[in-house]
Amino acid sequence: MDAIELMMEEHKYIKRALVVIRKMSISVLNGREVPFEDYNRVVEFVRNYADKLHHNKEEEILFKKMREEMGEALVGAPISGMLVEHDLGRLFIKNLEEALERVRNGDMDSRVDVIANAVGYADLLNRHIEKEDKVIYNFARRSLKEEAMGYVNESCEKVEQSAEKESIQKRYISILEELESNWIK
């Protein structure tokens, strides 16, 4: 398994979800009711596919191995930047959930917080993915020794196999496709 190719493929699914998030937010901006169920499904996709499955591979396998092999002086700042952006994305999603709850409880002014956090997340992740695909992953490919890259590939394959046993990929790609059928015209 080529772990970096796999992570780049996962990025494609995440970017598709970001298009949905933006479309939903535009509909709220244009006065439609907040689609609570679909926002909740987006949050579920983000938490379980983008974060637990994908970001976990980056944080616990690739980025750790890059730090171990290349040293903090060489990769510490770029990797720290990626981790900060992962955390910022988690904050946007937490704030989105809280805003959704406020709107559900009658605070219509919090619709702006729904839009701001959803669009903020989408913008952050689009930029983040571009940096990973074009810079971080290419740097890892060029700089990690064959043995280290082998470890990354094998470790990511184990994560993938475990997730496949639970149908994680299938489940969340199916959710994404349903959301796309609702929002992408």
Q: What is the CATH number of the domain that holds 145?
A: 1.20.120.520
Q: State residue 75's pLDDT score.
A: 87
Residue-wise pLDDT tens digits, 91-128: 999 999 999 999 999 999 999 999 999 999 999 999 99
| Three-class DSSP category at 30 | coil
10 in Cβ contact with 1 (< 8 Å) = no
Q: What mean pLDDT comes out for the span 166-174?
A: 97
Residue 157 structural domain: 3-183
Which is nearest to 107 in space by CA: 98, 94, 120? Answer: 98
Which is nearest to 132 in space by CA: 103, 33, 124, 112? Answer: 124
Q: State residue 76's pLDDT score.
A: 87
Query: What distance in Å separates the CA atoms of residue 70 and residue 132, rounded to the nearest whole number?
Result: 17
Query: Which pTM does this prediction carry?
Result: 0.96
Which is nearest to 171 in space by CA: 52, 88, 87? Answer: 52
Report how many domains make up the chain: 1
Residue 99, C-beta contacts closer than 8 angstroms, at least 6 positions apart: 110, 111, 113, 114, 116, 117
Residue-wise pLDDT tens digits, 68-83: 999 987 888 999 999 9
Q: What percent of the chain has pLDDT over 90?
A: 96
